[in-house]
Amino acid sequence: MLDMGKLIEKAGVLVEALPYIQRLAGKTVVIKYGGNAMVNEEIKNSVMEDITLLKFIGLNPIVVHGGGPDISAALKVYDIPSNFIGGLRVTDADTMHVAQMVLVGDTNKQVVAGINSNGGKAIGLCGIDGMLLECKKLDAKDADGNAADIGFVGDIVNVNTKMLDLIIQDEYIPVIAPIGTDASGQSYNINADTVASAIARTMKAEKLMLLTDVDGVRDASGNIIFEISKDEIHKLIADGVISGGMIPKVLGCTEAIDAGVNRVHIIDGRIPHCLLLEIFTDTGIGTMITK
């Protein structure tokens, strides 16, 4: 027996999404995929479904994935210690070799296969391909603000936007592993948030979507802020409401806004179909940062 109420409810969801689909058709959306969204199989598949659907309804998704836990697990197998300074992995030559092997050879292909199995056409890339991500060695600092050598960790100096334009204007979805290179061919490990933000800025993306393990920015009372300006972000930092590891994340978001990205979203990647819920509903589920 037909449940007419449920059918009407589904139609209502589609109608609610319509103006957003119309507004975003042909626009670029950069998605940073990481955290627990990469661990749970059900959530992984829902993210792949969301990305595929975005392409089919006329958006141009670009996916940048992380893979820190996969790297740590592989390093343990090879008996190579994992060390971090300022939240970044210290990457000596052995660690660089493992990171590149895991991110490019394994994690990247898993994401590509996930999108393809849902009917999309994904192409796996890393920053070495076509000099997509040209880097220099990152000038890092420790927790006390002193200069620190963290090895082969990259600072992006150029993004090959021509290459990405060629891919997204066709029917393909680029999936990018956060490994870059310098002019001499030396590979560098790069923070995936940094890569996603750099690509969003240089591509003048309509949206940058950060799938995280938090549900957004919260106010002093602990409530999720669904929409906030970059100036309000700075005030919350000054007041101590935003603290710890959220500070570099939200500052990266405001830098993307300053560089021309229209909207940056911090959303909980552990929620099924988090991308669709954030983009195509009136309230969204996370925090949207605007100019």
Among the listed residues 257, 262, 203, the one whose alpha carbon sits nearest the alpha carbon of residue 61: 203
Q: Please determine, for residue 3, whether its predicted confidence score (pLDDT) is greater than 90.
A: no
Q: Please determine, for residue 93, whether its predicted confidence score (pLDDT) is greater than 90.
A: yes
**3 within some domain:** no
Q: How far is CA 44 from CA 48, 58, 154, 203, in A?
A: 6, 22, 28, 26
Determine the pLDDT at residue 119: 93
**195 within some domain:** yes
Q: Is 5 helix (H, G, I), strand (E, B) or coil?
A: helix
Q: Please determine, for residue 263, whether its predicted confidence score (pLDDT) is greater than 80.
A: yes
Domain with 82 in it: what CATH number? Answer: 3.40.1160.10
Q: Please determine, for residue 10, whether its predicted confidence score (pLDDT) is greater than 80.
A: no
**13 within some domain:** no
**Looking at the DSSP assignment, which residues form a beta bridge with residue 123?**
174
Q: Please determine, for residue 2, whether its predicted confidence score (pLDDT) is greater than 70.
A: no
211, 274 in Cβ contact below 8 A? yes
Q: Please determine, for residue 271, whether its predicted confidence score (pLDDT) is greater than 90.
A: no
CA 176 from centre of chain: 10
Q: Please determine, for residue 92, whether its predicted confidence score (pLDDT) is greater than 80.
A: yes
pLDDT: which is higher, 183 or 144: 183
Determine the pLDDT at residue 18: 85
Q: For 228, list phi and psi in degrees, rounded to 5.
A: -150, 145
- pLDDT tens, residue by residue, 96-112: 999 999 999 999 999 99
Q: Is 49 helix (H, G, I), strand (E, B) or coil?
A: helix
- pLDDT tens, residue by residue, 32-84: 998 767 777 888 888 999 999 999 999 999 999 988 888 999 999 999 988 88
Among the listed residues 79, 96, 69, the one whose alpha carbon sits nearest the alpha carbon of residue 150: 96
- pLDDT tens, residue by residue, 157-197: 999 999 999 999 889 999 999 999 999 999 999 988 889 99
**88 within some domain:** yes
Domain of residue 98, residue span? 24-290
Among the listed residues 132, 142, 148, 153, the one whose alpha carbon sits nearest the alpha carbon of residue 71: 153
What domain count does the chain have? Answer: 1
**278 within some domain:** yes
**11 within some domain:** no
Non-local (6+) Cβ contacts of 229 within 8 A are: 289, 290, 291
**7 within some domain:** no
275, 262 in Cβ contact below 8 A? no
**215 within some domain:** yes
